[in-house]
Structure 1
């Protein structure tokens, strides 16, 4: 595949030796694991000829920034919508917010991205159609619409989970006691209800992190962002297997790290788990 259809047997033999494909399978695997553990690398790119770690490191900052922005937006919007729905139970805002997840869960993320481009970029000219701007301000501005697109896939489940938890807490005995003691509704809502309701929703966000990362890679293609997503799809088209392996590995490590951070945050939110953990 690298040398082409009309390559000579000598060239094939030389390439097999260069890639280590003439070694026994167990020895190839040991070399792969050794390189992975000592260098954090999955080998050299077949197409570019450079280390996959270097290629991924060049694209990682923009992807990580996009994931971070999407997480922050998803949490903020979910908090606002869930709080509005829980405090207006069975009223018009509650009904509208409950319908929202039902409709949006069936929308493919790339289709949502294209709709947002048509509306906010092509018609309203609020955001660029694609690419990444220069400087921090330009970068954040150009990544706002992609981040909203990625967050859009996470908001419905977060809103539904947080609303259900808040309604349960609002009807609990200790909230009734706090109201009877004369504490302001705002203090009860933000200091007691939200803190006790956030834990299950935070755990749900941790479970959905892998979907969020996968959605980010797809959205990068829609908006023409040269991050890890575009590198992944280019590598798939070129059958550049070491790069594909490297991206899959680093994405898996990212999921583990983020899940660990969420566990630590959950421990901080719920002091009762200190003894257990």
Structure 2
């Protein structure tokens, strides 16, 4: 038996009906089994599999070649920037995401020293963390502002890697922005709560009350259960309902914030003069609700 014996083709049906016969054929060469004319699997003798399994390649055994190919495929598809360096912190490998992050091609990066490529103080701190991982063998995680792309922030994970050290760079800019907006929203909520004449409600796309704060409920005298799914226009004085409906329609069509002076109909049957501020809540550029600030007269 030789490793260059020609392959034989057989349909799945043929192999199923005469499996013993095709086992004999597989002793002298691989049998490619087809399904609807397309190759699906290969029937291979144990001896041939063992010989192919140990077949050396330019980079080592067949398993090494498969592992390297798999690793390359993973690096190509990763959302994080990847860089590997040797113990002297010379670059040995990068993926396309890191090329974009650094603004340089793999040809410009591989073989160069980290300190030559990224000499700024912030990047020197990253190099120090890489040396720490080389000394201790323990992975580290931290965040760093980008000096290559100002305004961006990256989460960095540095870890031991065959032949040295490697790092993953994950873009955290949007996450930081979101955390900042949440902090501002909490501060706004706290400031609103300190103003007894200011209440907040949210309307859905149909102008129906979907959320109300305690100040809004206290202002109207109704419970949340009583007002939930009620239109805002239903609890203002009748003479203002048309004007309020038109203002809501403009806001829901993506228009700017508007102010409407009206009066709420409260539980006691009285009218409570208020000023409403209506602003669209945007989702993917389109309004999917309205935020309402209600300022009651003193």
TM over 0.5: no
TM-score normalised by length of structure 1: 0.22
Higher radius of gyration, 1 or 2:
2
More helix, by proportion:
1
Q: TM-score, normalised by structure 2?
A: 0.21
Name whichever structure is richer in strand by fraction.
2
